[in-house]
């Protein structure tokens, strides 16, 4: 299972670079933050998905800027999908951006069930704490391995990120590659985290692909994408 998470800043940047990068990466699931929310958002998201060779599982109008796209094969494995709003107290202009948790439950052939959740934490620390609490509730009741990905809007040493990694593993922690801002990355604020029950094959920040140079990819949006390859079957000895 290959999962990619990427904040696409409302599709305001180099769409060709965005599309080409995703096509090169060939994800089974693509988690988007800041997907279109205004001006025919559902149609725009479907347009983007078609050009990436993917299908929309969650996203569009009323989905709070979150979207989950999938390959045709993965879309056929979906058991349930949906979005849970996360309530916020209005504190400033940044707090009016609606938040939530988009999630899908899959039945993976040979691997059992898997839950994959997408979130975009707020700029406000109090809101981030509330949001993470809801995400951890999802993990607690999942009854299956869980992958949580998204834009966490804080570094690994900060409270909300730490709260997540007390429960979930952070496969990219050792490399600690920054994800933001894309042109001169200095902060690691995007991540894909996992519960026990899966073997991590690859975990990295993507800076270029076979067909997209680092300069082009950095112009696709203001974040770099993060990628995770996992198997739900434990890794064999010596793998």
Q: Which tens digits make up the pLDDT trace of 194-217? A: 998 799 999 999 999 999 999 999
> 88 vs 18, 100, 102, 136, 163, CA distance in Å?
31, 10, 16, 17, 19
Record the tokens describing residue 61, joined without a space.
């109008």
Length of the chain as a residue count: 239
**What's the average model confidence in pLDDT over 80-96?**
78
Q: Where are the domains of the chain?
A: 2-231
Give tens-digit pLDDT for 168-192.
Answer: 999 999 999 999 999 999 999 999 9
Does the global pTM surpass 0.85? yes
Q: For 13-67, write each residue's pLDDT tens digit.
A: 999 999 999 999 999 999 999 999 888 999 999 999 999 999 999 999 889 999 9
- By CB neighbour count within 10 A (0-12 exposed, 13-18 middle, 19+ buried), where does 175 fall? exposed
Q: Which residues have a Cβ under 8 Å from the Cβ of 211 and sit 6 or more positions away?
A: 20, 23, 24
Task: List, as own/partner pairs, every contact residues 50-58 make where C-beta atoms lie below 8 angstroms and the sequence separation is at least 24, other chains included.
Answer: 51/19, 52/19, 52/22, 52/23, 53/23, 54/22, 54/27, 54/30, 57/81, 57/104, 58/82, 58/83, 58/102, 58/103, 58/104, 58/118
* Cα dihedral 147, 153, 157, 160 in deg (nearest 10): -60
Say how far apart CA 117 and CA 125 lie, in whole Å.
Answer: 20
The token duo for 212 is 């997209």
Residue 96 — pLDDT band, cuts 50, 70, 90? low
Strand (E) positions, 160-198? 190-194
Q: How confident is the model at residue 95 (pLDDT cuts 50, 70, 90)?
A: low
Model confidence over 62-85: pLDDT tens digits?
A: 899 999 999 999 999 999 999 999
- Confidence check: pLDDT of 238 > 60: no
Q: Is residue 225 scored above 90 in pLDDT?
A: yes
State residue 38's pLDDT score.
84
CATH superfamily of 2-231: Endonuclease/exonuclease/phosphatase (3.60.10.10)
Q: What is the pLDDT of residue 232?
A: 87
What pLDDT, on a 0 to 100 scale, did the predictor assign at position 93?
57
- Residue-level pLDDT at 106: 97
The predicted pLDDT at position 74 comes to 98
Interval 82-107 mean pLDDT: 83
Instruction: Note the pLDDT tens digit of each residue in 122-134.
Output: 998 989 999 999 9
Percent of the chain with pLDDT over 90: 86
pLDDT, residue 236, reads 44
Going by pLDDT thresholds of 50, 70 and 90, the confidence category of residue 239 is very low
């Amino acid at each position: 299972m290959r999962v990619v998470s990427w904040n696409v800043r409302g599709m305001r940047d180099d769409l060709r670079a965005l599309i080409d990068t995703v096509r090169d990466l060939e994800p089974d699931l693509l988690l988007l933050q800041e997907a279109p929310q205004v001006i025919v958002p559902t149609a725009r998201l479907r347009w983007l998905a078609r050009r990436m060779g993917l299908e929309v599982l969650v996203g569009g109008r009323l989905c709070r800027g979150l979207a989950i796209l999938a390959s045709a094969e993965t879309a056929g494995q979906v058991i349930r999908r949906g979005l849970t709003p996360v309530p916020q107290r209005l504190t400033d202009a940044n707090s009016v951006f609606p938040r939530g948790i988009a999630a899908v439950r899959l039945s993976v052939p040979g691997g059992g069930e898997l839950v994959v959740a997408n979130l975009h934490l707020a700029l406000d620390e109090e809101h981030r704490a509330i949001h993470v609490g809801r995400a951890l509730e999802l993990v607690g009741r999942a009854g299956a391995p869980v992958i949580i990905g998204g834009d966490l809007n804080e570094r690994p040493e900060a409270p909300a990120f730490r709260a997540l990694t007390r429960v979930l593993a952070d496969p990219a922690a050792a490399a600690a590659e920054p994800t933001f801002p894309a042109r001169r990355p200095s902060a690691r604020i995007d991540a894909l985290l996992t519960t026990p029950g899966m073997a991590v094959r690859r975990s990295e920040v993507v800076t270029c692909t076979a067909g997209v140079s680092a300069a082009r990819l950095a112009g696709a949006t203001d974040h770099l994408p993060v990628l995770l390859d996992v198997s739900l079957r434990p890794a064999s000895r010596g793998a």
